[in-house]
Amino acid sequence: MTYRLFWEDPYMKEFDAKVLNIEGNKVILDKTCFYATSGGQPNDTGKLNGINVVDVFYDQNENIVHVLEKEPNFKIGDIVHGVIDWDRRYKIMRLHTAIHIISAVIVKNFGNVSITGSQIYPDRARVDFNLEKLDENIVKFIEEKANEVVRMNLPVIARIITKEELEANPSYYRLADRSHYEKFKILRVVEIKDLDAQLDGGTHVKSTGEVGLIKIVKRENKGKFNRRIVIQVE
């Protein structure tokens, strides 16, 4: 399994690593700070020994596969240098923490509500949830409460937990469909201090104040009770 440097330090922008395998333009390293697409968060882009990294994904063995724009000129066993597109990563980190803030606000203020899905893009993110009504007043309320959390500048902490801890804290399951979590081989919780804690494998900022202003730019009805809001951060 590739060691995930982005869990150790999500602010790491560059790293050196050993090449374990090469198949065409696909490269596996012993460690990486390139995030692989998962959990609704898109992959990082950047460069590996100066070659553009255009996609990053997990293989069946939980290794992180870097897809380069062309076959590399390095070989297995070489030490290579990776650089991620930091501006893209940092925006995604802010959006990911914003999603956690939004979901916490919804769950805490609207009773028996479940988050049914979420997706992050480089410039926006969406949250889906089951709520009977979603009008402009409710959207305004959610936005105001979310930005209160931003202004509180609460710490954001990630930690690895045991299966026993998870069983003792079922609230760590945030998505309504728990089958989403079955593929998790390592259990990791991201906590916004005094507000929220949930299973999550993504990258986040270290405090809610870094998120910036959260703006809900769109609301949609996606079914009888399924609602969607789209957010951006400034």
Q: Do 36 and 110 have their domain in common?
A: no
Give per-residue pLDDT as tens, 22-81: 999 999 999 999 999 998 999 999 999 999 999 999 999 989 999 999 999 999 999 999
The SS3 assignment for 118 reads strand
Q: Do 110 and 26 have their domain in common?
A: no
Residue-range definition of the domain harbouring residue 165: 89-233
CB-based contact 20:3 (threshold 8 Å): no
Number of domains in the chain: 2
Can you tell me the distance from the alpha carbon of 27 to that of 6, in angstroms, rounded to the nearest whole number? 18
The SS3 assignment for 211 reads helix
Give per-residue pLDDT as tens, 21-37: 999 999 999 999 999 99
Residue 126, domain CATH:
3.30.980.10
Q: Do 210 and 102 have their domain in common?
A: yes
Q: Do 76 and 147 have their domain in common?
A: no
Q: What are phi and psi of 229, to 5 degrees?
A: -125, 145
Last residue of a domain, one of 21, 50, 84: 84
The structure tokens listed for 148 are 């209160």
* CB-based contacts of 12-15 (< 8 A; 24+ apart in sequence): 13/83, 13/84, 13/86, 14/81, 14/82, 14/83, 14/84, 15/81, 15/82
Q: Do 80 and 128 have their domain in common?
A: no
Per the rule left: phi > 0, alpha: psi between -120 and 50, beta: everything else, 105 is: alpha
Q: Do 95 and 181 have their domain in common?
A: yes
Q: What is the pLDDT along the chain (234 residues), one digit of tens a residue?
A: 899 999 999 999 999 999 999 999 999 999 999 999 998 999 999 999 999 999 999 999 989 999 999 999 999 999 999 999 999 999 999 999 999 999 999 999 998 888 889 999 999 999 999 998 899 999 999 999 999 999 999 999 999 999 899 889 888 887 766 665 666 678 999 999 999 999 999 999 999 999 999 999 999 987 778 899 999 999
Last residue of a domain, one of 66, 84, 102: 84
Q: What is the DSSP letter of 42?
A: P
Facing residues of 128 across strands?
117, 228
Residue 49, domain CATH:
2.40.30.130
Q: Do 50 and 113 have their domain in common?
A: no
Q: Do 36 and 128 have their domain in common?
A: no
Q: Do 150 and 168 have their domain in common?
A: yes
Tokens 């949830």 -> residue? 129
